[in-house]
Amino acid sequence: MTNKDLINKIASSTSMTKTHTEEMLSATVAVLQKELLAGKSVQLQGFGALEMQRKSARTVMHPKTKELTTIPEKMQLTFKANASIKEQLKNL
């Protein structure tokens, strides 16, 4: 699903115009990005949680050359679905 698809679906299920829906979605994404980049987790009730996790540096071996390489530390965005979504996924 693209942003345009999401905007169309939200606008058709509410009384908001597509322009207003697009503005609300852009503002929501901006707030989510700001909070996540500040190191805070974002809890969306009925959906799940988004948070940044630090992945520590590690050494790996190239399978063909057997050469050791270090993968640097990085931050990674993670999502944890809430219990109702997990339950629905079990029933697919």
Q: How does pLDDT run across 31-60, given as a tens digit for each residue?
A: 999 999 999 999 999 999 999 999 999 999
Do 12 and 32 sit in the same domain of this protein? yes
Q: What is the reported pLDDT for 92?
A: 83
Q: What is the reported pLDDT for 27?
A: 97
Give the global pTM: 0.75
Do 20 and 45 sit in the same domain of this protein? no
In the chain, what is the straight-line distance between the N-terminal and C-terminal CA atoms, in Å? 19
User: How far apart are alpha carbons 80 and 58 in whole angstroms?
Assistant: 24
pLDDT at 75 over 90: yes
Q: What is the reported pLDDT for 19?
A: 95
pLDDT at 91 over 90: no
Do 33 and 70 sit in the same domain of this protein? no
From the number of C-beta atoms within 10 Å of its C-beta (0-12, 13-18, 19+), residue 46 rates as exposed
Q: What is the reported pLDDT for 54?
A: 93
Q: How many domains does the chain have?
A: 2
Do 25 and 51 sit in the same domain of this protein? no
Write down the mean pLDDT value for the chain. 94
SS3 80: strand
